[in-house]
Each structure stands twice: as C-alpha cells, then as structure tokens.
Chains A and B, each alone.
Chain A
Amino acid sequence: MIKDVASAFEKRTGHRVKVSLGASGGIYSQIINGAPFDLFLSADTSYPRRLEQQGFARPGSLTIYAVGRLALWTRAGSGVDVARLDMKLLTSANVRKVAIANPRHAPYGQAAVEVLRHFGVEQAVKPKLVLGESASQVLQFVSTGAAQVGFLPLSLVLAPSAPKDGRYWLIPEGAHAKLEQAAVILKGGKAPPSAARQFLDFLTGSEGKKVLERYGYSLPRDREGSRP
C-alpha cells in the first residue's frame, strides 16, 4: 500500500521516499531510541499519540489517515469449507490452528481477540491460537498451510502479493473497536519538515485516497486532517 503511494508521490513531486516496514510497536521503539525517520504511519493511534506526548513528534501533526478493516482469511485447499467462511467455522474440527497477530502489541491482534469475544467463541478458539509477530507473519502462517485460517488486515488480503487462491470473510465493523490508523511527523527526521507534511497531505489527498480505497481502507469522515 504505502509503496504505491510513495512511488506516486515520487513521480508527482520529485522527492525520494524511503520506506521502512515493521510492526508499529517495533518502529515506535526505534523512534524513541533515535531512529532518523521523518514520518511514522502507525497501524493504530496510540503509538503516534504517545510520540506526540513524549515530544518526539511535531505537535499538532497527528492525522488519522485511514480506518482499517479486519478479515478472516484462508486459502482454497486448506481443508476448510471456504463457501461457509465465518466465525462458526473456527470451532469446527477441520480448523486446527487459527493465526492472529500478537494481541500484546499488535492492534490487529487485539481487534481479533475482541471479535472472538464478540461472537462468544473466545474460550473455544483459544487453544487453537497461534501468534504471529506481525500481520504479515499471520499471512505467512496461513499461506504455508501451517494454520488453516487467520485474522488479517483487509489491506493485506487485497494486496497484489497475497496468494491468488485466498478467500476471505469481512468481519462486521461493529465486532471490534474502530481500527483508526494515525500518522505523525517526527522531530528526529533528516528531511525538511515541509517535505514530510507534503507526503502526509498527498496520502490524505485524492490520489492517496484512491490507493487506500483500493486496499480496502475506509477513510476518516473529516478528510481535512481529522484530529482525535
């Protein structure tokens, strides 16, 4: 997703964008330990908010750029009934392992636990849970067939790199807390702050929005920099 936005931005402005990917918590740790990033796009709002409070981010730069959706994902040939892919399937014997991102630090993992609780299957599914270090590791676990199903951000499911025989069930939005994703401009960056601002505006502008929608993100209602 972000690489698509970055290359469109490079074409438009002539700036060069270097993208470092990782779990939000991990990148947060790197930032407070002096990583020279200009802009931080988190998978939640708590890490950016904390960076703002602790003085690592430019005050007032926090912007909700997308609202994520969660999907239950499997592959054709995984042995589960993909035609009836929903929460009831998780308790069936065909499903031995259910992969989620580690809820101790991954926002999408926390959302997955909320979904299990919402549908009243938390106790039944708990012994089947395996934890990925990040959402992309959940994708890997299910891709290799090691786990039959997994909870993934819709953006990963819809990414062109995801296996073509993937099948998903979109989790109803009310089943978990809203997955708002925020960005902040950082003080420790090397680029002029105006360039980081320009990228953030591009991301929340019409071109960025098109890419975000393609990856299944819904967008915050107030586009003009909504501030929580």
Chain B
Amino acid sequence: MNWDAVFTSLKLASMTSVILLVLGLPLASWLAFSRWRWKFLFESVVALPLVLPPTVLGFYVLTAMGPRSPLGYWYAELVGSPLPFTFEGLVVASVLYSLPFAVQPMAGSFAGVDRNLVEVSWTLGVSRLATFFRLILPAARNGVVAAVVLTFAHTMGEFGVVLMVGGNIQGVTRTVSIDIYDQVQELNYAAASRTSLALLVFSFAILTLVYWLNRNSSLWPSAGRR
C-alpha cells in the first residue's frame, strides 16, 4: 500500500469536508428557506457537478487555474506560485466537485424542519441567526453529519478531476485512486486489488454510517417527508 497516497487522500478529504461545512451551511439554509423566484437557477448550479463528467470539470479548473487565464494569473501574482499541480489546487477542485454532496443533504434536512416552529421562533423575537443555530441546526444535525461524511467519502474516491489537474506528484497530488489507476496501467494487478479492496471496505463503512444516522429520515431533498 502506498501510504503517502493514502495520507494525501485523507488530508484532501478532511480539508474539503471542513471547507464545505463552512461554505455549505449558509448556502444550504438559503436554498432551504429562500422564496426567491430565481432560486432554481442556483439549485441547478449546485447540482451541476453531479452530472458533469469529471473531465469537463477538470478541464475547466485546469484552464482557469493556468497562467493563461486572468484568474490563474491573478492568483500566481498574489501568492507567488501558480495553483495547478499543488495540493491547494486539488482542494479548490475538490470543493467544486463535492459541492452538491455537502449542500443537498444539508438543504434537505433544513427544509425538513417544521416551518411552524421556525416561524414561531422568529415571531417570538429570536434572531434569524440564533434560530438557525439553536433550533434548525440541532433539529437537522443528522443531515449535516451525513453531508460532511458524504463529502469526505466522495473526495476520497475522487479520480477524474484529480487526474486532470493534479499532475500525479508523489506526496502532493497522488491520491489513492490515482495510485490504483497507475497500478492497473503498469499491470500490477495484485497491488491494485489490495488498494481497491481497502477503498471498497472504507467506502462501505462510511455509507453504512451515513444510512444508520439517517435510518429515520431521507437523505435527499424532495424525497420523503416534507
């Protein structure tokens, strides 16, 4: 087992989960409670990474991060080194790629909180922020935990985007899934099956945890109770 790659994947998945928890909470609560008529546009954008092939996303990210794009040029000027082929670059790509896996379960569980309770809290003079942290978040905690765990697991298994923007550098951007791909390519099937089996067991354990947490509710918005 290539422990460097395992460590890189764990680090990437942890950082992506934390960032998406911070970004996801406000975004998901807005999606759950807003009555803005154009909201569906944002819902579509958030869901895009679910349907776009990782090659498309990876290609856009690579082009956007490269020094030929204004964004990439600006970043390189500001930080002193360009984003492609760095761990930070992978984090940016993973945050985009795993966005729906964080936001959708959160938004679904927020929307599942009894609207009457929320409105009673508001009319009693509790601020929107306090209502969110003291009423909505505790009531929806399983959905939030599910979101974080799913983001973590999905990032662990991320392949196409990492392949497109990572550059396969040992200890920096070579993740477990890339390592498996290399093992298959160099016909080292024994090593590939070992690593694949470890990833399979890990993924199963994570999903079991998620579904156990949510055994009384539904993970996805619009499915199940409203």
Contacts and interface: CB of A to CB of B under 8 A. Distances in A.
B137 to A, nearest CB: 40
Given A140-B62, A145-B68, A26 B82 contact: no
Contact of B187 (A28, A79, A140, A141): A28
Nearest to A129: B169
A99 B185 contact: no
A157 B88 CA distance: 31
A133 B68 CA distance: 22
Interface string A121-157: 0000000011111000100110011110000000000
Nearest to A133: B163
Interface string B62-98: 1101111000100000000110110000000000000
Interface of B: 59, 62-63, 65-68, 72, 81-82, 84-85, 163-165, 167-169, 181-182, 184-187
12 contacts: A26-B185, A96-B81, A102-B168, A102-B182, A104-B182, A104-B185, A130-B169, A137-B164, A141-B62, A145-B66, A146-B65, A147-B85
Contacts of B165: 146
A145 B167 CA distance: 13
A99 B185 CA distance: 19
B85 A105 contact: no
Contacts of B84: 97, 141, 144, 146-147
B82 A146 contact: yes
A25 B82 contact: no
Nearest to A97: B85
Contacts of A99: 167
Contacts of B167: 97, 99, 130-132, 141, 146-147
B185 A102 contact: yes
Contacts of B66: 144-146
